[in-house]
Amino acid sequence: MAFEVDTQIPHGNACDIEIREENDVAEVSFAPDPHGGPETLWFCLRVRRAGDDPAAGMLRLVLKHHYNMLGGHTPSALRPVIRYQGRAWQRLPQGDLVPLPDGRTDIAWLVRAPEAALDIAFCYPYGVEDVQTLVAETDGIWHVDTIGVSQGARPLLRLSNDYGGPGDQRPGLYVIARQHSGETPGSWVLDGFLRTMAELGSEAPLVWAVPLSNIDGVALGDYGKDNFPYDLNRAWGRPPMRHEVSVFQRDMARWQSRCRPLLGVDFHAPGACETSGVYTYVPDSDTDRAGHDAAMPWAFLTGDALTPEYAADQFARVVHYPSRWDTPSFRTYVWAQLGLPCITFETPYAMAGTQVLTQADYREIGRRIGQGIVAGIK
Ligand SMILES: [Zn+2]
C-alpha cells in the first residue's frame, strides 16, 4: 500500500479504517471513534505516504457512519478540513453522498494525494500550540498560569490580562472553552475574543480565561460530549464530579475576590447539522425568571454585534434537548452559586446560513462578541 493512517497524533481520532488502491486512486475510509462515550462527532487523522510504492495521484477520503454522529444526518453541513504537510488548513466542499445497498450512506471527497502526508479533521483543530501563538502575538498582555491539573494530570492553563487584587473594582469576566473537547469552533471564537481584549488594553475588563478546560479530551481527540465518566459541563455540583471543575471553582472564587465580577462566558459548538448561525443559551424564563432577565441584556448586545452575518435568527434559546445529565453546568453554577449572569455561545462547525466559516470568521465572531460585551459594561 502506498498510504498508511496514523491516529497517534495530537487530537487524533478515527476507527474502522480501511485503505484500498485502485488504478491511480487510493481510498482511505474511516469513522469517528466514540472513545468510550455515547456520542461521536470529532475525528482527526493523518494519511501518510508509505515506502516507495508507486504513487497514486488522487486520494478518496470516505467518512463512514456519518448518520451515527451527533447531528450527522445532514451531509451538506459536514465540511471537514484538510492540511497537506507544511501547509495551512483548508475547508473541503460538500462531499459526495455514496449510497450503500441497505440504505445507509457514506460521504466521499476526492482530493490530490499528498506527497508526504495529509491531515483530515472534522473542523480546524485548536490546541496548546495555538494558545501559545495567541499569547506570543498579543504583546505580552496575557499572563499564563497553570492553576492545577486535569484528571489525567495535564496542566490546566488560565490566561489573565490582570491579576487584580482584593477589593479591586475593575469589571471582571470569567471565560471558559472546550468543556466538550471536540468543539473546536468555541476555541477559535475565544481566540478572536482574547485578541480583541488584548487590543483594548486598559479599556478591557479584567479577563480570566481557561482556553482548554477539558485538556485530556483535547489532547486525546475525544469528542467529550456526554462522555463517561462525567461530562465536564455536567460536573459543576458541590462537591464537583471532576477534578478539573474543583480547580476551576477555586479559581473562580479567587477571581471573584480580585475584581468587580460581572459575567461568565462559555464557548461551545452545537451538533454537526446546525447551520443557522451563532446562538446563545439563556435560562428559561418560566423556571428561572431572574436568571433569564440577568442574561438577556448580554444576549441582546452580542446578538446585535453578530447580526446580520453570523447570528442565527433565533439567537437566544432555552435548552430543550433531552439531556443524559441533569446535573449543574458552568452556567448554572455561575448563576446559582456566584449570583452572576452567564452566557453560553454555540458556534457551528462549518456554516452560518450559506456562508462557509473559516478560522478568520470564527475570530471575527469572537471579536464581535467581545465588543458586544464591552458595550454593556457600566
Ligand atoms: Zn458543548
What structural domains and CATH numbers belong to the chain?
Answer: 3-121 (2.60.40.3120), 128-375 (3.40.630.10)
Supply the pLDDT for residue 55: 66
- Pinpoint the alpha helices (H) of the chain: 128-136, 184-200, 215-220, 243-256, 289-306, 330-338, 359-375
Contact predicate 270/69, CB 8 Å: no
Q: State the distance from the centre of ligand 1 to the C-alpha of 197, rounded, in angstroms.
A: 23
Distance between Cα 156 and ligand 1 center (Å): 18
pLDDT given at position 53: 65
Give the model's pLDDT for residue 365: 98
Query: Ligand 1 centre and the CA of 168: distance in Å?
Result: 32
CA 181–ligand 1 middle distance (angstroms): 8
Q: Tell me the CA–centroid distance for residue 286 and ligand 1, in Å.
A: 23
Cα(69) to centroid(ligand 1), Å? 15
Q: State the distance from the centre of ligand 1 to the C-alpha of 122, rounded, in angstroms.
A: 15
pLDDT in tens, 86-132: 999 999 999 999 999 999 999 999 999 999 999 999 999 999 999 99
> How many angstroms separate the alpha carbon of residue 225 from the centre of ligand 1?
7
The whole model's pTM is what? 0.97
Distance between Cα 346 and ligand 1 center (Å) = 7
* 241 alpha carbon – ligand 1 mean position (Å): 17
**Please, which pLDDT band fits residue 326 given cuts at 50, 70 and 90?**
confident
pLDDT of residue 268: 98
Please tell me the least confidently modeled range out of 19-23, 254-258, 299-303: 19-23
- CB atoms under 10 Å from CB of 107, counted, come to 21
Please state, for a pLDDT cut of 90, what percent of the chain lies above it.
92
Q: What's the pLDDT score for residue 271?
A: 95
Residue corresponding to grid cell 469528542? 223
pLDDT tens digit sequence for 229-286: 899 999 999 999 999 999 999 999 999 999 999 999 999 999 999 999 999 999 899 9
pLDDT band at 23 (very low <50, low <70, confident <90, very high): confident
Selection from 101, 23, 14, 125 nearest residue 63 by Cα: 14
Average pLDDT over residues 318-342: 90
Å from CA of 48 to ligand 1 middle: 31
